[in-house]
């Protein structure tokens, strides 16, 4: 029986290690050659746009590979504070960028390059008949929002306060993608997500705009990092994002100008 417990423990360990993806961003450009790897840490909501911009950047720069790490901005800042080798950091809010600048981890001042606002996402058939922010407060409507600890939750609270609507959510999720997941799977009647998330989800959700959304505008800053090894390349990537090409890609995805 001991053997079985041992086997179970081993299996559990294996399962645990399988569950934890490794994010080694350590394969540095092979020294001597011209091949360089630019490492960009970007907020999860930038996954689509930055992947596209990364390809454009690689096309324009021979021998350069752009590697992305997409995660929650606070996760990324924590990793940068722990010495993760990143050249560029794009945050989904100013609060997390402030943490980086506060610790002198950025080179120069961060530049705001996009803004994002909240929108109501409902399943395509809109089972609860939601048409306004006020509808989210109706009893029986299953609303999912982000927890106040993450940027999209802070934005939701601001919107609630400004519109004097009190939403009683059935769940306060960890990230905006979790909120969207609960809506696309039909578990929730409505969720508060970003305009860009609704756009990216295509016809899996329906977006409902509401006037009160202007009370919470999320600003996205970008900066090169002092711990990075490719300062010039990093600067050029920032220029691409803030330049006309980058702004067009971001606008297409639903981001607004800062």
Partner 1 sequence: MARATRHVGLPRWVFVPAAVGALFVVLPLLAMLDRVRWGDFLGLISSDSSVDALLLSLRTSAAATLLCVVLGVPMALVLARTSFPGQQLLRSLVLLPLVLPPVVGGIALLYTFGRRGLLGHTVDVLGLQIAFSTTAVVMAQTFVALPFLVVSLEGALRTAGGRYEAVAATLGARPTTVFRRVTLPLVLPGLASGAVLSFARALGEFGATITFAGSLQGVTRTLPLEIYLQRETDADAAVALSLVLVVVAVVVIGLARTRATP
Task: List residues binding partner 1 (CB under 8 A).
Answer: 1-5, 7-8, 11-12, 14-15, 18-19, 72, 74, 78, 142, 144, 147, 149-150, 169-174, 178, 181-182, 185-188
DSSP symbols for 22-89: ------PPPTTSS-EEEEEEEEGGGHHHHHHHHHHHHHHSTTEEEEEEEE-HHHHHHHHHTT---SEE
Find the shortest distance in angstroms from Cβ 36 to partner 1: 33
Q: Which is nearer to partner 1, 155 or 241 (CB)?
A: 155
d(CA 105, CA 197): 29
Q: Which is nearer to partner 1, 10 or 251 (CB)?
A: 10
d(CA 51, CA 90): 13
Cα–Cα distance list, 215 to 116, 117, 118, 177, 200 (Å): 12, 9, 10, 22, 23
Find the shortest distance in angstroms from Cβ 7 to partner 1: 7
Q: Which is nearer to partner 1, 23 or 60 (CB)?
A: 23
Find the shortest distance in angstroms from Cβ 81 to partner 1: 10
Q: Which is nearer to partner 1, 53 or 143 (CB)?
A: 143
Find the shortest distance in angstroms from Cβ 183 to partner 1: 12
């Amino acid at each position: 029986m001991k053997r079985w417990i041992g086997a179970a423990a081993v299996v559990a360990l294996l399962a645990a290690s399988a569950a934890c993806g490794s994010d080694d961003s350590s394969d540095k450009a092979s020294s001597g050659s011209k091949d360089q790897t630019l490492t960009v840490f970007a907020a999860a909501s930038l996954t689509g746009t930055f992947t596209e911009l990364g390809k454009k950047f690689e096309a324009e720069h021979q021998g350069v590979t752009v590697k992305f790490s997409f995660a929650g901005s606070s996760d990324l800042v924590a990793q940068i504070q722990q010495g993760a080798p990143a050249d560029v950091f794009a945050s989904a809010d100013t609060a997390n960028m402030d943490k980086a600048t506060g610790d002198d981890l950025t080179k120069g001042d961060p530049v705001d390059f996009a803004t994002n606002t909240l929108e109501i996402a409902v399943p395509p058939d809109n089972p609860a008949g939601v048409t306004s922010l006020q509808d989210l407060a109706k009893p029986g409507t299953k609303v999912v929002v982000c927890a106040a600890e993450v940027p999209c939750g802070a934005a939701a609270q601001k919107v609630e306060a400004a519109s004097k609507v009190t939403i009683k959510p059935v769940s306060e999720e960890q990230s905006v993608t979790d909120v969207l997941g609960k809506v696309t799977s039909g578990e929730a009647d409505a969720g508060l997500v970003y305009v860009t998330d609704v756009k990216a989800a295509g016809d899996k959700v329906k977006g409902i705009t509401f006037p009160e959304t202007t009370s919470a505008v999320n600003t996205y800053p970008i900066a090169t990092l002092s711990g990075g090894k490719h300062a010039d390349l990093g600067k050029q990537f920032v220029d691409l994002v803030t330049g006309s090409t980058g702004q067009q890609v971001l606008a297409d995805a639903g981001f607004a100008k800062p």
